[in-house]
Structure 1
């Protein structure tokens, strides 16, 4: 937008300056040409008057002095084309002869072309001696335009210098106006980016720019405060509710466990169902607390960068070893693929371990009979040979509380992948879910090096 606005304003400025400068240049050249024409016409009239008065001696004297002073040749002829005085011009000259013939016929001389700074060619001027049908001779002069061209050049130089100064002023004014108008928009853009990244109470300065933009900045700040307050209240609600429910749930678990020896045979199915529901509630509370922690971590990282790093390959090997027993009990082959231990990623070890636990837990529960974990460069890949997810389900997998229709009865809260996604994106990475080439699901964890 800045480039387009500057181009528009600069084009308008150049057009406006040119619209004022060009007529001034043309008027300067025409005025100086007119002065040259008037001056030389007056000189020709003086010589024609002396010839008409038959004052040959005075005519010869003035023509000679004029040519010597100005360096402009003159010839005066009678009606028979015989020279009365010739100072630098010849009657038989191919350019002079037509001018003499035209003057003897009392034809008006053509106007002088407008003198430009680069004009160098002399011009021929002629006037008849006498009036009407009593033309008794002609006067022809070769006038120099160099002095006039120099005057036009100086006039144009002044005009162009003024135009350049005006153009520089317009450019500076354009830059100031563009900055005045666009700076608040840039601030708003940065503010929107901060809000989108989850930064709490992201404010923009509303002191600059037009009044409408200042009011917009104030409205944005109020909106940012409202969004941040709502997000903080939501996080506190989840955290507080999870903490407050934990004690009653723990008491309920103790009471349920204490009932185990007293449950009759007919009540065993109902009792076991109640135990599973209690366990599900405990898992859900743990997931809600983890989600609150992930949201808090993401909010904190938008304010201050975290420089903690870890060797991703080491974490991968530790988690493979930790999950190997669970995989074996579930009949799943957990295989270590290519592993590169020569690089670090910008993520704490405990957060990466939590993310890998979520992904490996899902892969063992839903991923078929074989799971391969690789770690190359800054990408960790978990590939299984299970049923995978459909193209419609892949974008929904990181949505909170979402469960696949095929696995809706399986144990879980639907918060594992959303928590992992939030932890990874908070550190500038990506959690990618893709269908495998031969089926199954491919989970890729990308983190900045």
Structure 2
């Protein structure tokens, strides 16, 4: 936008300056040409008048002095084309002079001078018939030089072009100032929108520059940013506070349910175990909500101030695979390694990557069939299983909060594991992608900047 605005304003400025400068240049040239024409016409009239007065001595004296002073040759002839006085080498038989003498003797009007320009160098022939009315008794011809006039025109043009250049420079500076004045609030607004989209809370614009409409827009943006930040903070606090407030009653309920175990009659065992399962599910859900609130809070903090913390990815992968190997063995799942590169670090703290791998490995062991393979490379950390996988419709929903597969045989969870993992990864500038495995099963690909 800045480029387009500058181009439009600069084109307008150049056009406006040219519209003033070009006519001034032409007027300057035309005015100097008229001065030359009037001056030389007056000289021709003087010489013609002396000829009519038959004052040959005075005529010869003034013509000679004129040629000596201006370096412009003059020839005066009578009606029979015989020279009365000729200076500077002019001759009645000179090819370009003869037609001019003939035209003057026929009393034909002389053509006007072309405008003298700075690069004009060719001399011009000026002629005047001598006589009264239609009675022509001779002619005066002068070869006038335009070099002095061209020099004057060049000087005038230099002044005009210098003024035009100064005006153009002023227009360019004014254009840059106006463009900056108009576009700086827009650039600041763009940065503010990016900050809000990245999760930075209470992002404010200064709103002191630019037109009144843009200042009002900045004030509206600040109010919107405060409202969005307050709403997000209230939502996070609601989840966190609700989880904390429910934990104590839930713990008390769990103690009471556990204390009832010896007193439940055989006919009530099924209902009792269902109640215990629901209590455990509520505990898992509360843990997930707290983890989600923590992940959202972490993402907000990272958006405002990125964390430079790093870790050795392979070390975390090896540690978590070793931790989950017992659970995998109990579930009859083979947990093995693929290619593991131990030479690189990633921009993610160890505890966050451990939490993500715990979610992914837990899901893979629960739903992933008989074999889970974990690979680690600078490109990505990949967890692949050979289970039933997810359908094309289910893949986009897997990272949605509280979504759980409805397939038979799948344990019931909170539906918060993968959303939490994805939020932790995206907060660190990475991506968590779910894809079908090459044969059967599901591949979870974790990409983080190295």
For residue 104 of structure 1, report the CA deviation from its aligned partner. 1.6
Aligned equivalents of 1:347, 1:334: Cα separation in 2: 24
User: Which secondary structure does the structure 2 equivalent of 1:138 belong to?
Assistant: strand
Aligned equivalents of 1:71, 1:402: Cα separation in 2: 104
Aligned equivalents of 1:147, 1:387: Cα separation in 2: 99
Aligned to 1:103: 104
Aligned equivalents of 1:342, 1:282: Cα separation in 2: 39
User: Which secondary structure does the structure 1 equivalent of 2:439 belong to?
Assistant: coil
For residue 293 of structure 1, report the CA deviation from its aligned partner. 0.6
For residue 407 of structure 1, report the CA deviation from its aligned partner. 6.8
Aligned to 1:202: 203
- Give CA-to-partner distance per residue, 1:196-234, whole Å, 9 cap, x none: 111111111011111111111111111111111111111
User: Which secondary structure does the structure 1 equivalent of 2:311 belong to?
Assistant: coil
Matched, 1:21 2:1: no
Aligned to 1:414: 415
For residue 368 of structure 1, report the CA deviation from its aligned partner. 3.0
Matched, 1:76 2:76: yes
- Give CA-to-partner distance per residue, 1:389-415, whole Å, 9 cap, x none: 344433332221123343795321111
Alignment of 1:122-271 (within 5 A): 122-271=123-272
**Alignment RMSD (CA, Å):** 1.7
Does the C-alpha gap of structure 1 residues 237 and 83 become closer, same or farther in structure 2, counting only changes over 3 Å? same
Alignment of 1:41-120 (within 5 A): 41-88=41-88, 89-120=90-121
- Give CA-to-partner distance per residue, 1:249-287, whole Å, 9 cap, x none: 111111222222222222222222212111111111010
Does the C-alpha gap of structure 1 residues 147 and 437 become closer, same or farther in structure 2, counting only changes over 3 Å? farther
Alignment of 1:266-281 (within 5 A): 266-281=267-282
Matched, 1:290 2:291: yes
Does the C-alpha gap of structure 1 residues 10 and 396 become closer, same or farther in structure 2, counting only changes over 3 Å? farther
Greater displacement, 151-160 / 435-444: 435-444
Does the C-alpha gap of structure 1 residues 394 and 143 become closer, same or farther in structure 2, counting only changes over 3 Å? farther
Does the C-alpha gap of structure 1 residues 265 and 11 become closer, same or farther in structure 2, counting only changes over 3 Å? same
Greater displacement, 385-394 / 179-188: 385-394
Aligned equivalents of 2:36, 2:114: Cα separation in 1: 11
Alpha-carbon contact 2:367-2:410 (below 8 Å) kept: no
For residue 378 of structure 1, report the CA deviation from its aligned partner. 4.9
Aligned equivalents of 1:244, 1:180: Cα separation in 2: 52
Aligned equivalents of 1:230, 1:308: Cα separation in 2: 29
Aligned to 2:34: 34
In structure 2, stretches of 5+ residues that fail to align are none
Aligned equivalents of 2:299, 2:444: Cα separation in 1: 21
- Give CA-to-partner distance per residue, 1:101-136, whole Å, 9 cap, x none: 221222222221111111111111111112442112
Work out the number of aligned pairs and report it: 449
Aligned equivalents of 1:182, 1:214: Cα separation in 2: 12
In structure 1, stretches of 5+ residues that fail to align are none
Aligned equivalents of 1:444, 1:395: Cα separation in 2: 14
Alignment of 1:313-328 (within 5 A): 313-328=314-329
Alpha-carbon contact 2:404-2:412 (below 8 Å) kept: no
Alpha-carbon contact 2:30-2:116 (below 8 Å) kept: yes
For residue 331 of structure 1, report the CA deviation from its aligned partner. 3.0
Alpha-carbon contact 1:106-1:132 (below 8 Å) kept: no
